Amino acid sequence: MAEKLVVVGGDAAGMSAASQARRHRDAGDLEIVAFERGHYTSYSACGIPYWVGGLVDDADQLVSRDPATFREDFQVDVRVRHEVVGIDLARREVVARDLEHGGREVRERFDQLVYAAGAVPATPDWARTDAAGVFGVQTMDDGAALIDWLDGDPAPRRAVVVGGGYIGVEMAEAMIQRGLSVSLVERSPEPMSTVDPDMGALVRKALCGLGLEVRSGVSVTGLESRDGRVAAVVTEHGTLPADIVVLGLGVRPNTALAAEAGLPIGPTGGIRVDLRMRVMDTPGVWAAGDCVESVHRVSGQPVYVPLGTHANKQGRIAGINIGGGYATFAGIVGTAVTRVCDLEVGRTGLREAEAAAAGFEFVTVRVESTNRAGYFPGAKPMTVKLIVERRSGRLLGAQIVGLSEAAKRIDVLAVALWNRMTVDEMANLDLGYAPPYAPVWDPVLVAARKAVEAIR
């Protein structure tokens, strides 16, 4: 009889694991069943704000592989609209509910299990309401529900976005593109708390230039409703009228079922796994994606950084190992980019607060430069910030904010960070130059050179 692999979660990590396992083992040797609560598999959640804002016309454009493709081309028994509600490790069994058939219970035995349940939105008590018009943006089904509300009658005119992280600022821009009046409320001193406040201030300036009302350093305390629909967001500094509220308060690992089953949970709240994505001390069980914790290559500490890049890599590694190959996950440095109107934001490594918490002594430098030679048409400003270990000169983190061709420059810094380079070594990097693409001294090199002076 064929060995059976059961996958919990049908997005990036889960289906990457399933497809890699299938590439290494055929259907006669390994049967694969995948449970997914929603309607979609292998989709780009990061693209949902652009779908909502109208830059992406059709939801199908965000789907890499649909359930039919997995069934036909990969012989994976994908069961959408099935919510896993229990895992019995002793009996090697998963319990799910068929949401399309009245919650009918389904039980599936397994020899190998991949737990890839992703993340769930952080939802404070004040956000728990029965009022219509309050949305999180975590799944494709969430995006579809939000678009239905925007297209409904009466059409909303005033939006409040709570939370100024990646999803928050991207959804605020999407609401502007939809023609709504938008307020963004963020508890931290500046939006985009994944960068330091001085860089976040540049993001706030760009958002205000879009016509948004940005209220940073403000906490939300409640919601008001009228006739079953959301009517306002209550903050510590006043009430904001709202016909639609979008929650962008971040996420936490979706590990409730894992914890109930006895899987080990780390200090970040994510599942503890080894280098091969095997759940610690649990034979035959693997975990990947936004439900696991990773090791930060700079601090050496466990961290929780939910990004699609990590999820795809971790799922692939789990699948290769399940298939009989050998692969390891080398950790993360937390590289991420986003766009806010015309402003590009990139970051990698540690922020100042994170570097201090890890025990590093460091210096910071910040330089202003341009994306191209200053005399070349289309030259735009760019700000580069480096965080550097004192004395050794090792790069600890970097952030870039600029108007054009800025965000992907963070990749140069991510490579330097990954390889534990010093700013002295970075200052001598042989980077490409031509006036349409960079000044003769690229902004990355200018920042590295300034950092060398600072540590000396």
> pLDDT tens-digit profile of 372-413?
988 899 899 999 999 999 999 999 999 999 988 888 999 999
Alpha carbons 247 and 223: distance in angstroms, whole number: 12
Between 350 and 341, residue with greater pLDDT: 350
Task: Name the nearest CA neighbour of 389 among 414, 421, 418.
Answer: 421
Identify the pLDDT of residue 186: 94
Identify the pLDDT of residue 456: 83
Strands across the sheet containing 104-109: 82-88, 93-98, 104-109
User: Given the structure tokens 């080990």, which residue do they identify?
Assistant: 264
pLDDT above 80 for 1: no
Contacts of 100 (CB under 8 A, 6+ apart): 81
Decide if 346 contacts 408 (C-beta within 8 A): yes
pLDDT above 90 for 301: yes
46 is catalytic: yes
Pairing of strands 343-349, 362-370: unpaired
Contacts of 452 (CB under 8 A, 6+ apart): 393, 423, 424, 427
pLDDT above 90 for 210: no
Instruction: Out of 46, 208, 291, 341, pick the active-site residue.
Output: 46
Burial class (CB in 10 A: 0-12, 13-18, 19+), 354: buried
> What is the share, in percent, of the chain residues with pLDDT greater than 70?
100
Pairing of strands 285-287, 112-115: parallel
Task: Name the nearest CA neighbour of 405 among 430, 425, 432.
Answer: 432
pLDDT-based confidence at residue 76 (cuts at 50, 70, 90): very high
Instruction: Indicate the CATH number for domain 123-249.
Output: 3.50.50.60
What tokens appear for 329 in the block? 């996950």
Q: What is the mean pLDDT of the chain?
A: 94
Q: What is the mean pLDDT of residues 215-230?
A: 93
Q: Tell me the whole-structure pTM to 2 decimals.
A: 0.93
pLDDT above 90 for 342: no
Fold assignment, 3-41+61-120+252-322: FAD/NAD(P)-binding domain (3.50.50)
Task: Name the nearest CA neighbour of 83 among 63, 100, 60.
Answer: 100
Task: Name the nearest CA neighbour of 163 among 221, 206, 244, 219.
Answer: 219
Does 336-455 carry CATH code 3.50.50.60?
A: yes
Q: Where in the chain is the domain with CATH 3.50.50.60?
A: 3-41+61-120+252-322, 123-249, 336-455
Identify the pLDDT of residue 207: 87
